[in-house]
């Protein structure tokens, strides 16, 4: 047997003749593979597969949301508490209709919010609740939930809110600016700081505490009912009418995150998730992305906890944003976040316009010229 050392083999493999033969052999194998593919296989390999990958890239999120009923069960249903109200019915009788007693004097009420840039909606909220709030508590940060530097917008516009100044507890918290961190971590950090601010504001046991975002506005008569009635649940979610962009586009009546608490020292913690099974029907309004200026829409799209929904840069194009608003479509080109195929299909497409402006916040209607952009038939926004 002839043994060849490694150096000799390397010389053979390095020779031009050997390399040419190897290349010819490789090309021959490739030709054999290609000859074995019929036209349909070729079409599948080089056209259909790349097209499929591209479609998943563009619409993967939509596909995931549409198939949500297959991989996620709906949450446990709320227990709805019927809500009775008429301006000509006495408070004692209204409390009785709800199965509650009447107090000798109303509870104190604290309204606590985290503020980003919603100046118009904040004004409408505070004007609606003003007669019944003991202390307005507002926390502002120089950081968005996504870690972007943010000016202290409320601080620079504080003069617009002189009507609540004697009852205002205002706090500022510095952002942590941690790149790559989940935005919900920063949001939770700011909500914990709001607990401390509430203690500074002087909240005590059995005071009512409203926990909701700025754009989740309880109606005045709802808060007045809860402060006067005895034996109300210790925690009660509020079912709000759910609007998008203005009070023209009514999505549904399923907004539920707002809640009212009978405060308990050492136990009550400010939060924005489900905290009880009980929910009071028809208790106010949630007006999401209800801004005056196109720039405010773009800022929120980049700043809030769901920034991952901005999958393409053109989503932030001002002309596109304006067009989406007037059509009542989705800024993030998403399918409805529902748990059944029936609900998903029922909400496909733009939101139908409503032309009813009945039972909206009073300050909005009293100042309709100033807030016309929030009323039906006025979708055009200012560019600033």
Q: What is the pLDDT of residues 329-365, one digit of tens each?
A: 999 888 888 878 888 898 888 999 999 999 999 999 9
- Do 207 and 263 meet the contact criterion of CB atoms below 8 Å apart? yes
247 φψ region: left (φ > 0), alpha (ψ -120 to 50), beta (else): alpha
The pair of structure tokens assigned to 29 is 């194998």
> DSSP code of 48?
I
Least confident range from 14-23, 32-41, 337-346: namely 14-23
Would 47 be classed as within a structural domain?
Answer: no
Would 254 be classed as within a structural domain?
Answer: yes
pLDDT value for 42: 58
Average pLDDT on 304-313 reads 77
Would 270 be classed as within a structural domain?
Answer: yes
pLDDT value for 68: 79
The yes-or-no verdict on residue 318 having pLDDT over 90 is yes
- Do 376 and 354 meet the contact criterion of CB atoms below 8 Å apart? yes
Would 226 be classed as within a structural domain?
Answer: yes
Would 382 be classed as within a structural domain?
Answer: no
Beta strands in 94-153 (DSSP E): 101-102, 109-115, 135-141
What is the pTM for the complete model shown?
Answer: 0.83
The pair of structure tokens assigned to 283 is 């208790």
Total domains in the fold of the chain: 1
Distance CA 166, CA 71 (A): 51
Would 247 be classed as within a structural domain?
Answer: yes
Structural domain of residue 182, as residue ranges? 79-292
Would 214 be classed as within a structural domain?
Answer: yes
pLDDT value for 2: 39
The yes-or-no verdict on residue 27 having pLDDT over 60 is no
- Please report, for the domain that includes residue 175, its CATH number: 3.90.550
Distance CA 348, CA 237 (A): 28
pLDDT value for 183: 81
Average pLDDT on 288-296 reads 96
The yes-or-no verdict on residue 173 having pLDDT over 70 is yes
Q: Give the pLDDT band (50/70/90) at residue 5.
A: very low
The yes-or-no verdict on residue 76 having pLDDT over 80 is yes
- Do 114 and 188 meet the contact criterion of CB atoms below 8 Å apart? no
The yes-or-no verdict on residue 55 having pLDDT over 80 is no
Helix (H) or strand (E) holding 254: strand 250-255
Would 185 be classed as within a structural domain?
Answer: yes
Give the residue, 47 or 224, on which the prediction is more confident. 224
């Amino acid at each position: 047997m002839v043994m060849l050392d490694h150096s000799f083999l390397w010389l053979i493999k390095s020779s031009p003749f050997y390399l040419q033969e190897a290349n010819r052999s490789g090309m021959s194998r490739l030709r054999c593979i290609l000859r074995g593919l019929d036209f349909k296989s070729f079409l599948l390999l080089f056209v259909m597969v790349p097209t499929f990958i591209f479609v998943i890239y563009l619409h993967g999120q939509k596909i995931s949301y549409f198939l949500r009923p297959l991989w996620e069960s709906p949450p446990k249903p709320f227990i709805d508490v019927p809500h009775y109200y008429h301006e000509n019915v006495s408070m004692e009788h209204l409390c009785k209709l709800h199965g509650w007693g009447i107090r000798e004097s109303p509870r104190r009420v604290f309204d606590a919010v985290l503020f980003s840039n919603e100046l118009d909606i904040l004004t409408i909220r505070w004007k609606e609740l003003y007669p019944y709030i003991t202390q307005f508590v507002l926390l502002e940060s120089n950081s968005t939930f996504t870690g972007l530097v943010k000016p202290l917008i409320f601080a620079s516009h504080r003069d617009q809110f002189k009507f609540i100044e004697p009852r205002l507890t205002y706090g500022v918290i510095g952002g942590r600016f941690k790149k790559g961190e989940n935005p919900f971590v920063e949001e939770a950090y700011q909500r914990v700081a709001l607990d401390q601010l509430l203690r500074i504001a002087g909240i005590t046991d059995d005071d009512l505490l409203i926990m909701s975002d700025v754009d989740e506005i309880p109606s005045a008569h709802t808060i007045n009912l809860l402060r006067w009635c005895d034996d109300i649940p210790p925690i009660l979610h509020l079912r709000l009418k759910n609007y998008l962009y203005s009070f023209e586009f009514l999505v549904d009546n399923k907004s539920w995150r707002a809640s009212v608490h009978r405060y308990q020292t050492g136990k009550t913690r400010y939060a924005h998730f489900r905290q009880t099974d009980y929910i009071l029907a028809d208790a106010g309004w949630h007006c999401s992305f209800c801004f005056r200026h196109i720039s405010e829409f773009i800022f929120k799209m980049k700043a809030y906890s769901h920034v991952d929904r901005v999958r393409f840069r053109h989503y932030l194009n001002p002309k596109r944003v304006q067009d989406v608003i007037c059509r009542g479509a989705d800024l993030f080109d998403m399918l409805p976040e529902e748990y059944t195929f029936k609900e998903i299909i029922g909400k496909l497409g733009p939101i139908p316009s409503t032309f009813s402006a009945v039972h909206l916040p009073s300050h909005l209607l009293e100042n309709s010229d100033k807030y016309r952009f929030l009323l039906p038939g006025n979708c055009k926004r200012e560019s600033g």
